Chain A
Amino acid sequence: MTGMTARGEALRTQEMTINMGPQHPSTHGVLRVILTTDGEVVTRAVPDVGYLHRGLEKIGERVTYAQFMPFTDRLDYLAAMNCNCAWAWAVEKLAKIEVPERAEFLRVIVAELNRISSHLIAFGSFTADMGAFTPFLYAIRERERVNDLFEMICGNRLTYNYARIGGVSGDAPPGFLEKTKEFLDYFEPKIDEYNNLISYNKIFVHRLANVAVIPAEEAVAYGMTGPNLRGSGVPFDLRRDEPYSVYPKFDFKVCVGTGERGKLGDCFDRYMVRINEMRESVKIVRQALAQIPEGPVMAKVPRVFKPPAGETYFRSECPRGETGIYVVSDGSANPFRLKIRTGSFVTMNIFEKVTKGLMIADIVAVIGSFDIILPEIDR
């Protein structure tokens, strides 16, 4: 890029390579992006992941199916309930275990509550990245109440280890369902408050609208899933389109981007999908609370659990997209091979393509709008 000096001579600039991360507050963890910049314009942004690789897939081959449950908490620690349930559903599909209905309802309740708290962090940290710190405090305030509920049901506030193969670790304690309803009544009006507070703020909209536009076909081809795919206007949600658990019993809307402030599939659409999804999750939890049956919460699963030999791929809708679990069983007590395909990891594939030609500050907007989380990328 050439500019002009005060004397009218051409100003020569030179491309520069800089590291953004791995220690950088806006990268949501330990993501390193190798930026090649021409002034403020990014000519190339190559993501470098793996700083948090713990070899969870290899660990999975050395522990039993039940012992792997706590490790799934460490996949996506902001949505540990969803990962717990995904693992349980995958193994139950492999071994064809019938789960008591009450357990499935409890799973859906905690999974949707966790989706709310995860989207709250996405909302809060995204706005903080964009320079508005206050909404983050609002988000944390509400998330605290979800954590209280989870502490009540399983004793933990971050790594829940709640689901079990064949059910859940314990029934809801007395008062839990009422407290959940109280939370929903408290939380639902807050979503409008967020919209009034920041969503339609002029500066905020300008930072997001028309930035990193991803057309629908491209989003599918690059394997984007979850809110990022729906942000591009593709109405695809595994809870509705490949139903599992008791989701078919509930009535909810699949939120998609509408291009309301810019082109369809920009950062603003991805942001708005999450805000609207919180409302749908509230709706699902309300219906689940109304319909939850009495009964046991654990199926009869042998203490030494050996599923039949076979291979299963199960995917479920987690807050950061589809978590697909591919289990190869050889009939022994440990998985023979375990592969976890996570939403954030596959989403990073498109990062280099969409960031070409953006400004450096927009990179922060893109990372925030993808709502990636690093332990899920690196596993």
Chain B
Amino acid sequence: MEARAIFETLKEKFGDAVVELQGEGFTPPFVVVAPGSVRDIARFLKEDPALSFDSLMSLSGVDYKDRFAVAYHLYSMKHRHAVGMKAMLPRESPSLPSVDDVWPAANFQEREAYDLFGFVFEGSKDLRRILLPEDWEGHPLRKDYKYAEFYHGIKI
């Protein structure tokens, strides 16, 4: 299915929770959704027979300076089509529902986004830092991250 048709389907089903379609310059195009409805929309994308996005290719955090975003890249093994889903988050208290019960593949990548961006995935079955030590301060992939000079007295 084309991204435009997927967007129309979602718009009809979820109304205002589906914000816009980022088409020009985006491959694959992104359907921008309200962060609160991420899990419901994800479940629909996976379970609707015409869509059946059974594979979460990638989940990434992005810092657009004025706001954050979580970008999901989805693929359907059955229909062989791909689409992106994006949730824009405010800079203060970025949180959204976890999708690891829809796609178990999300867990490690959500932990990565939590670790490097500080996003909170509500209802995640296991949300801990993954790449950095547990007592690391700050989230390095944020654009306003200040490099620490010392870690446990060791010069970095």
Contact = CB atoms under 8 A, between A and B. Distances in A.
B54 A308 contact: no
A57 B25 contact: no
A356 interface: no
Interface residues of B, number: 34
Contacts of B54: 217, 220-221
A346 interface: yes
A221 B108 contact: no
Contact of B25 (A310, A322, A324, A349): A310
Given A223-B103, A346-B105, A349-B107, A313 B28 contact: yes
B80 interface: yes
A193 interface: no
A220 B54 CA distance: 7
Contacts of A312: 26-27
Q: Is the interface of B mostly helix, strand, loop or mixed?
A: mixed
Interface residues of A, number: 36
Contacts of B84: 313
A110 B129 CA distance: 37
B60 A222 contact: no
A223 B105 contact: yes
A223 B132 contact: no
Contact of A49 (B30, B55, B109, B130): B130
A295 to B, nearest CB: 27
Contacts of B28: 313
B77 A310 contact: no
Interface of B: 22, 25-28, 30, 54-58, 60-63, 71, 73, 77, 80, 84, 103-105, 107-109, 116, 129-133, 140-141
13 contacts: A50-B132, A50-B133, A53-B131, A53-B132, A55-B140, A57-B141, A58-B140, A222-B105, A311-B25, A311-B71, A341-B57, A349-B108, A379-B131
